[in-house]
Amino acid sequence: MRARKSVKVIAVASGKGGVGKTNIAVNLAVALAQKGAKPLLLDADLGLGNVDILLGLSPRYNLSHVISGEKTMEQVLVDGPQGIRVLPAASGIAHMAVLGSQAQAGLIQAVSHLDIDVDYLLIDLAAGIAGDVLTFSRAAQEVIVVVSNEPASITDAYALIKVLSRDHGVRRFRVLPNMVRDQHEGQSLFQRVATVADRYLDVSLEMVGTIPLDPALRSAVRAQRAVVELYPDSPAARALRALATMVRAWPLPAGSAGHIEFFMERLLSAEKALQDL
């Protein structure tokens, strides 16, 4: 990717499914674009992707066609709202959910060779702690962990943080409470995760705002639109734009002249470290 500017690579993760992770990734991409950025959204839930569904897109091809060699990454790339670019994943293709590290590295290498101008690479990960989630999380510069106020989500978010920190060297996490009633509930939810993490793990957790439980989000999902575009004055949209503002203030990468190759190098070094264990 011949980027003219530094690229921030951000993985959006969750320990449990159903906590609104993909909605966060989609709306963060659109909100960044509304602020003048040029985001590329990679649907890395490779076997059960639904970024395209949330945005009302109907891509003819997806990443499974890149893996099979039928199409190039450029042929799979589609345009989304506000000028965002989307790399759609397959849906309901079992073997895509269990790709080996070589195939994962091949995908990222293909991304790195895209001839487009990008300043953010947002990666919507699958939920849980499968191998591809761990690989992409370790290689990204920033990891946002989305958590909701239910026991399974809190437990699984902690499990994800534990595995990434103890086994993969990730030390910094941005925690985003989602679907909360108010700021107090969000702060309390973050504190529950942070208290356990501080006691047992060597990590740094930062709360990056809260996203309220908002009927506008459900309506936007039904309409297959981003809430920041369809209902820009809703509480959820305002919170997501605030998140985008915060993301834009995060420092730029320091490696490989600050370009997308930084991600590729991190991915390959992560894989080598795993092989050396």
b/e burial code for range 112-147 (CB count within 10 A of at least 16 → b): bebeeebbbbbbbbbbbbbebbbbbbbbbbbbbbbb
Q: What is the pLDDT of residue 138?
A: 80
The pLDDT score that the predictor gives to residue 259 is 43
Question: 3-state DSSP call for residue 42?
Answer: strand
pLDDT given for residue 73 in this prediction: 87
- Contacts with 176 (C-beta within 8 Å, 6 or more apart), sequence order: 24, 144, 145, 146, 147, 207, 208, 209, 210, 211, 243
Give the bridge partners for 39, in sequence order.
Answer: 120
Six-digit token pair at 155? 């437990």
Q: Is 82 left (phi over 0), alpha (psi -120 to 50) or beta?
A: left
pLDDT of res. 42 = 93
pLDDT of residue 256: 45
Closest residue by Cα to residue 36 from 209, 241, 221: 241
SS3 39: strand
Of 255, 246, 13, 27, residue with least CA distance to 137? 13
Half-sphere exposure of 22 (CA within 13 A, CB side): 23
By C-alpha distance, which of 164, 180, 167, 183 is closest to 217? 180
Tokens 């957790």 appear where?
205
Per-residue pLDDT of the chain (277 residues; tens, 9 = 90+): 444 457 888 999 999 999 999 999 999 999 999 999 999 999 988 767 899 999 999 999 988 888 888 988 899 999 999 999 999 987 766 556 556 666 766 676 777 778 888 999 999 998 988 877 887 888 788 999 999 999 999 999 999 999 999 988 899 999 999 999 999 999 999 999 999 999 999 999 999 999 999 999 999 999 999 999 999 999 999 999 999 999 999 987 665 443 445 555 555 555 555 555 4
Q: The domain 8-276: what is its CATH number?
A: 3.40.50.300
